[in-house]
Structures are given as C-alpha cells and as structure tokens.
Amino acid sequence: MRRTRPDHVELIEKELTGRIIGAFFECHNILRYGYLESVYRRALAIELSARGLNVVEEAPVTVRYNGLPVGSFRLDLLVEGRVVVEAKATASLGPADKRQLINYLRATDLEVGLLLHFGPEPRFERCINSALLYGPRRDTADNPAVSVRSE
C-alpha cells in the first residue's frame, strides 16, 4: 500500500540545503555563466568548505545487481554525507538532468539532492528520494543495489 506524501517532506535537510544554495548563488555571482562544469563544481566545493561543511568531490558509487558490481559513477559533490549535489553548466536543463539526480538518490538511498544550474540564469531544484517515502527498495540491507565507497 502506498503512503501519502508526508507534510514534512519539504523540510528534509532544509538548513543544510539552504546553506548549499547560498553557496551556489555566491559562486554564480562571482563566476557568472560560461565556464565548464568542473570549474563550478570545484568553486562550489571550496565555498562549501569555507562555510564549514564537509564536501567530497566526485564521490565514487558502485552499482550492484544481485550483489555483483555492474557499473560505477561519481557524484559531483556529496555534502555532509547527506546531500547529493549535481552541478550543470549548460545553456538549459533537460529532463535527463533531473532524472540523473533522482537515479543517484535512489541508488544511494540518500534522501535529498540538489540540481544546481550554473546557466545564464542560475536556478536550482530540490529532489527527494520518493522511494524512501513510499517503502523500501527491492534491493536493500543484505543486497544493496548501490554503495558509496570512499577512496
């Protein structure tokens, strides 16, 4: 049975995401539009660290199927071990950009992600891992689909 969306969903990691969004706008105000994504990602990591937050750049993630590794990817930023940040530096965002972040959340079992668009007009989207709100994933506990590993 599917649960209805709790009223407090919008408040998950509100203080932390607010700090990240503030750092995002600071970086965009200084750098403006036109650099590569890697420049914005690095600048944001520096700004977040300066604000006292723990940041892992390009956090490695292993995708598993039935307990066996089948792929890997890297999160742009993992902040405080709780919020996935996906940075984009394109002229516009497409549906695939948000989908990518949602898949990262589902894969890692993290609750909140931010899609930060360092485009001509800065904008952001908060994404919530709805799978956590509506029940456990098929591959949990003894057989995780994905694990974040440290290097």
Residue 20 belongs to domain with CATH number? 3.40.1350
Q: What is the domain range of residue 36?
A: 12-148
The answer to whether residue 38 is domain-embedded is yes
The answer to whether residue 92 is domain-embedded is yes
**Cα–Cα distance between 106 and 120 in angstroms, integer?**
29
> Cα 7–83–53 angle (5° rounding)?
120
**Cα–Cα distance between 46 and 41 in angstroms, integer?**
9
Domain count of the fold of the chain? 1
The answer to whether residue 7 is domain-embedded is no
Mean pLDDT of the residues in the chain: 85
The answer to whether residue 55 is domain-embedded is yes
Taking the whole predicted model, whether its pTM rises above 0.85 is answered as: no
Report the pLDDT value the prediction gives residue 7, as an integer from 0 to 100: 52
The answer to whether residue 31 is domain-embedded is yes
Which residue did the predictor score with more confidence, 39 or 131? 39
Which residue did the predictor score with more confidence, 73 or 130? 73
The answer to whether residue 127 is domain-embedded is yes
- Please say whether the beta carbons of 114 and 102 come within 8 A: no
Longest dimension (CA), the chain: 48
Share of the chain above pLDDT 90, in %: 66
The answer to whether residue 52 is domain-embedded is yes
Report the pLDDT value the prediction gives residue 6, as an integer from 0 to 100: 52
Q: Residues 53-62: what's their mean pLDDT?
A: 95
pLDDT tens, position by position, 70-92: 989 999 999 999 999 999 999 99
pLDDT band at residue 145 under the 50/70/90 scheme: very low
The sheet that has 123-128: what strands, in order across it? Answer: 123-128, 112-117, 83-88, 68-79, 55-65, 146-148
Among the listed residues 139, 138, 131, 106, the one whose alpha carbon sits nearest the alpha carbon of residue 5: 131
The answer to whether residue 6 is domain-embedded is no
Q: Which amino acid is at 27?
A: C
